[in-house]
Amino acid sequence: MACLAAATAGAGDMYVSAALGDASYLNPVLASDSASGTVNDLVFNGLVKYDKDIRLTGDLAESWDVSDGGLVITFHLRKNVRWHDGKPFTAEDVRFTYERLIDPKVKTPYGSDYELVKSFAVVNPYTVRITYRQKFAPALESWGMGILPKHVFSQGDFNEHPANRKPVGTGPYRFKEWKTDEKIVLDANPDYFLGKPKIERCVFRIIPDQAVQFLELRNESIDDMSLTPDQWKAYPEFFRSYNKFRYPAFMYTYLAFNLKNPLFADKRMRKAIAFAIDKKDIIGGVLLGMGKAATGPFPAQSWAYNPDVKDYEYDTTRAKALIEECGWQLNAKDGYFYKDGKRLEFTILTNQGNKMRSLSAEIIQSQLRRAGIKVNIRIVEWSSFIHQFVNKKNFDAIILGWTVGRDPDQYSIWHSGQQDEGQYNFISYNNPAVDRLLEEGRGTFDQAKRTSIYHRLHRIIFDDVPYVFLYYPESLPVIHKRFRGPEIAPLGVGWNFHDWWVPPAEQKYRLAE
């Protein structure tokens, strides 16, 4: 990768990042996975974004006005922005993106955030006015969605468009290359409206195994990695060239049930599995204490988290009693439950390369064996896992994680109307009371009232057991010491990546211009 060129003071070098899975779409409207999102965040901009302290600030919008009791938002757009192909960014691009988000033919999981828009008006080339039918608390945040270029997508099939693999954005980095299952390469955008980034190139290498990533890290052939707890606690000399960071992640890991599977239709069976899982073994054995047991869909640092929800206590006897209530009988010879000659058995599916998830699956397999349940484990490559299994609802149970937004609205995950292919309610969860609370929560501006709504939502979802919420992990990233600028903020690490730099004397790569 290294090639000759002169480095300017304070600028240059290349950032090589490790990714467990390849991207699916370099299109923020279609992409539903973290691998795609990490790249899209550097290629595209929304109208707004979060600053380091998790406060909304302008991005493609330089300002906005909220009127009519929160029902109308008028965005005033930047006038000095160009797409990576040189075309000017205008309000028509915002309208085009909105129209794709509400188009039923577009396979997006984000459409529900825009269904409450009553009208979208282009006031002039740099002003848009959005009017809502009713109050929508996450309205402003929702316009952090990456905006797409109308002139690129106006012809052809949006879902299969070539630009989904060769994106044209407005962001700090421009697309250069995508070699499937190998790497994605981005170059600094010299015309970026906030100034050209100091890091000249970003390379996302697809390394679908955390152990292999760790070897690459020790060889200093990658510049960052999200460590597993055992890697974090490895010999300090492994990290002489890296800065280590540790902070609570705004996410949770879960065991989810396919509720279309008759085995999991009875809530008593799902509760039995919850009682049969000892999370202390997972927290101690997998996280090495670097995380907490989860009870619901809101991280513990969220204002929506309900601290009064008490977790299921590990109780194999109670688990077996619930299974018997479902009509299963324990076979004394092999220790498994049977019904109508069929053994109580299912498969846990998770993605390749994520050591914590595969270890969690193995612990759960052992624990459920003690409760008379036969569990198989299947590990699948990330892209196939998402597209062939998760999106197609082709699974019994899965171990996966959600990185959630700072606003607690999780309509797209839990609402019964979000079950189509590519949408987030892939477990087919349906509870009218939850639907009502989700609708009420996103339609309420008062945070005290919203807190009460989400506390109730937390409890109902916990009691329904559509997931066994496993743990809230900690983020454990490491970044090579030659990069200046990384710092922990409430938003995490990476919020100021645009301003990271490497002193010329420490630059590792010299890139041809």
Cα torsion angle, 244, 246, 251, 257, sign: positive
Is it true that domain 251-474 has CATH number 3.10.105.10?
yes
- Among 345, 379, 374, smallest CA distance to 360 is for 379
Domain(s) labelled CATH 3.10.105.10 in the chain stretch across 251-474
Report pLDDT for 7: 38
User: Looking at the domain covering 14-19+172-246+476-506, what would its CATH class be?
Assistant: alpha beta
Q: What percent of the chain has pLDDT over 70?
A: 98
Over residues 348-357, the pLDDT tens digits come to 999 998 899 9
pLDDT band of residue 512 (cuts 50, 70, 90) is: low
pLDDT band of residue 234 (cuts 50, 70, 90) is: confident
Report pLDDT for 8: 43
Q: What is the mean pLDDT of the chain?
A: 94
Report pLDDT for 9: 46
pLDDT band of residue 4 (cuts 50, 70, 90) is: very low
| Cα 157 to chain centroid, rounded | 26
Superfamily name with CATH number, domain 34-162: Dipeptide-binding Protein; Domain 1 (3.90.76.10)
Q: What share of the chain is helix, strand, coil (3-state, %, to 5)?
A: 30, 25, 45
- Among 48, 27, 41, 69, smallest CA distance to 141 is for 48
Q: In a 3-state reduction of DSSP, which class is residue 309?
A: coil
Q: In a 3-state reduction of DSSP, which class is residue 227?
A: coil
Q: Are 376 and 347 in contact (CB under 8 A)?
A: yes
Report pLDDT for 337: 98
**Which helix H or strand E contains 91, and what residues bound it?**
helix 91-101
Q: Are 349 and 385 in contact (CB under 8 A)?
A: yes
Over residues 101-122, the pLDDT tens digits come to 999 999 999 999 999 999 999 9
Domain(s) labelled CATH 3.40.190.10 in the chain stretch across 14-19+172-246+476-506
**pLDDT(3) > 90:** no
Average pLDDT (396-402) is 97
Over residues 312-325, the pLDDT tens digits come to 999 999 999 999 99
Over residues 38-89, the pLDDT tens digits come to 999 999 999 999 999 989 999 999 999 999 999 999 999 999 999 999 999 9
**pLDDT(1) > 50:** no
Report pLDDT for 369: 98
